[in-house]
Chain A
Amino acid sequence: MEAHAAAGHHGPPAAHQSSRVNASVLGMFLFIASEIMLFGSFFTAYFFVRVVNGTAWVNHYILANGKLFQLPIYVAFINTAILVTSSFTMHWALTSIKKGNRAGLQAGLLLTFLMGLVFLLTQVREYSRLGFKPSDGAPATVFYSLTGLHGAHVFVGLTILAFMTIRAFRGHFSPEHHHGVEIGGIYWHFVDVMWIVVYTTVYII
């Protein structure tokens, strides 16, 4: 009987990777997992401030610099509807290219980008009308931090979407090769889910 520590093989060994998830998709999920931890720390700060300063953040009002300010709950609701819809158009874009429908891909990505842009611009506009600044106390700081962190992610998502859209209009992606859309789509859905959590906890509850 012979002993063999390794098979006779020349050159570097074949890469070992999970047969269940593609490496780049797995990378995006690991990135999202780290992002969830980042958002988790901000949510911890938010809940801490609300519990400690119970009277400073009640019924959609926030105490900043000694005054009560109403949060723009209805504008934020419209913004939420826009962002949620953009997830549907994102999904439409991907299913279109899987079926070989290039026009559907282009329209889906363009609509997703435009809706994301409207969301971000509306948020910036609302910041200017809120009446309080991030430095006006802990609740104000937490409010701007949490919504601002999400806004930063929307900005990153828009950048990714812009590249995806340009590539789609330049004829990239096919029913067999659409990994760029798949990975960008996963990120966009993550941004959407985080906003639903932010909107429910910060604006509604």
Chain B
Amino acid sequence: MRRYVQTPGPIGEFSTLPLLQRAETRDLLYVGYGLLIVALVLASYLMGAFGWLPHDPRAMNVGLINTAPFTSGHLLGTDFLGRDLQSRLILGIQAYFLPGLLAIAISVVGGSVLGVLAGYGGGWVSAVVTYFDNLLDSFPRLVLILLVIAAFKADIYAIMIVLGITSMPATANLVAGKISFLRQKNFIEAAHALGLPAHTVILKHILWLNCRALLVIQATLGMAEAILVETSLSYLGFGVQEPTPSWGNMVQAGANYLLQGNFWPSTAPALSILATILGFQLLGDGLNNMLEGKRRRG
């Protein structure tokens, strides 16, 4: 049974409704949660960078190992060496934050350039770029990363560069798709006919006005991916090494104590990974629905 009600009074124009009102509740929840996560990550990064941590993350306190949260003055408890989990979790963000930004910067900027070249430049430029695009896309990411590790010894920035480059085709395809849609509507041609210079058409009309939503979404999803890659690698023992905390290696180290019944030292970072990646993904999803879906409704 569905119920439809017409709001009384004059019927308003779609665009006069603010974005918040137009959006579905589910999407607002997603975006809200996502923004919360982003805020926490950002705050934590800054705290870690300036060393404003509640406890020294390396300070071992043998008398207080494996305590539960809210006991003994540690908000999130301690790990198997008595180190404060909260501080270690906060510090762990350092491992992926800047590298992640590098990855999404490469992916978004590189992807846009490729996309514009593929969609906008005619003839052989487009063909060459598309071939190049498909080439990139067909590289197995994991194998490449392992190759980089073998060659450059697990430098997280190198790995993120690889991640960024292998993510370019996805963005490029989306941008090129948008361009071909605009082209079909004679939109680009009309802009030229008016006398607009090429750089205005590309930067203002295509990228800023039409693609910004999809680029933001690509960035959030790219960040989720970067976190996943970094934590997986450090779990496997590459990347950040003990005693410097990274969520991945915290999970790995704490796993040894699972069988003893002390699940918290590995569960806490695992939950953080889950919550954070989910946050970025939902942010991307929610934004996608809100921004791209707006024109399909009504």
Physical interaction between A and B: no
